[in-house]
A and B are shown apart, each in its own frame.
Chain A
Amino acid sequence: MLHRLSLTPDDHRIARLTAAAIAIALVESAVPSPLPGVKPGLANIVTLLVLLRYDWATAAWVTLLRVLAVSLLVGQFLAPGFVLSLSGAIASLGVLFVFRPLVTHHSRWFGPVSLSILAALAHMLTQLLIVRVWLVPSPGVWVLAPVFFGAALFFGMLNGLIVAWLMQPNGYGVASSENLPHNT
């Protein structure tokens, strides 16, 4: 017996936002990187926007679906690259869950940049640990750790600034609350 799936407005919203994140991630995956693992992670801008404009659950959906879809599209599904992306995403989402109140409750002091940096560092740390334990079981992995963490700090800050810029109040940014009438 077939049941027609009923789609809620939330489903549509998640699908739309995920599509945007997938598009960004795909474009980014086509840009060569000097070192595997070092990339801007611009799709996380969508994650952060969703986290701050909607809620954590929506952000988790958008991020995990994006990781899954992008890995299928670039042919990395279940390959080491996918495991690294997924574990990095889960770690970042965990950090975002813990620190989201910092921004929502103390927005005078903390903004998207804090969340972005913390999530990027958690992402990088998790990936390095998995590489160390699973892919390259040698302490030599840590020689490159400063490069990876430096990149995480830099791109975390950059993405956070972009998010903050998009969310500027008074309708200046595309994600200003005034420009999102469906946000409650």
Chain B
Amino acid sequence: MNCFPKQKIKTLLRPGDVLILLVGIAGWAILTLSLWQSGPAAQAQVRRDGVLVAAYPLSEDRTVSVVGPLGTTMIRIESGRARVVSDPGPRQYCVRQGWLTRPGEMALCAPNHISLTLTGGQPVYESMAY
């Protein structure tokens, strides 16, 4: 006896089931795209102790210096992206992170209490929360 004749699969998955499944997959795709594919980054925000001290549009190249408890953190904004160029912190994590290009990305210079965050046109969900 054939284990899976066509007729049996038909009764396992009925037309309405297929419809609900397709609607579910479509909804899931829309959800995924809207949550994970945020638009281009538009702004660089600099925070000291979590407080916003400055925000710059990514459309203009510039170098910014921010003073924290350990010294000066240098931030470079260039061609639609931003990075920490130098930081007095001992481990240099935020410098080694390199260029930030997408909204929600963040470089955290924790020893110097400085953070650099990119945001899009609209507020996006920060991945650091997880």
Give chain A's interface residues, CB within 8 Å of chain B. 102, 106-111, 113-114, 117-118, 121, 136, 138-146, 149-150, 153, 157, 160-161, 164-165, 168-169, 172
Report the contact-size class of chain B (Cβ under 8 Å from the partner): 20 to 34
Majority secondary structure of chain B interface residues (helix, strand, loop or mixed): helix
Complex Cα distance, B130 from A145, in Å, reads: 12
Can you name the residue of chain A whose Cβ is closest to the Cβ of B4? A165
Checking B11, B20, B127 against A140 with a beta-carbon cut-off of 8 angstroms, the contacting residue is B127
Q: Which residues of B contact A114 (CB under 8 A)?
A: 14, 16-17, 20
Nearest CB of chain B from residue A136's CB, rounded to whole Å = 7
Q: Are A108 and B14 in contact (CB under 8 A)?
A: yes
Stretch at the interface among B25-33, B57-65, B108-116: B25-33
Residues of A within 8 A of B16 (CB): 102, 106, 109-111, 114
What residues of A have a CB within 8 angstroms of the CB of B21 in the complex? 113, 117, 153, 157
Per the 8 Å Cβ criterion, residues 89-128 of B in contact with A are 125-128
For B17-42 the 0/1 string (1 means CB < 8 A from A) is 10011001100100110011000000
Name the prevailing secondary structure of the A interface residues: helix
Inter-chain contact count A-B, CB under 8 Å? 84
Task: Report whether A143 and B130 are in contact in the complex, using a CB–CB cutoff of 8 Å.
Answer: yes
Q: A140-B130, A142-B125, A146-B36 are in contact. Are A113 and B14 (CB under 8 A)?
A: yes
Q: For A108, what are the chain B residues with a Cβ–Cβ distance below 8 Å?
A: 14
Q: Which residues from chain B contact A139 at a C-beta distance below 8 Å? A: 125-126, 129
B11, A118: Cβ atoms under 8 Å? no
A142→B6 CA distance, assembly (Å): 40
- Ranked 3 nearest A-B pairs via Cβ: A140-B129, A110-B16, A113-B17
Q: Which residue of B lies closest to A164 (CB)?
A: B12
B48 → chain A closest CB, angstroms: 21
Nearest B-chain residue to A99, judged by Cβ: B20
Cα-based distance from A102 to B19 in the complex (angstroms): 13
B24 touches A153 (CB 8 A): yes
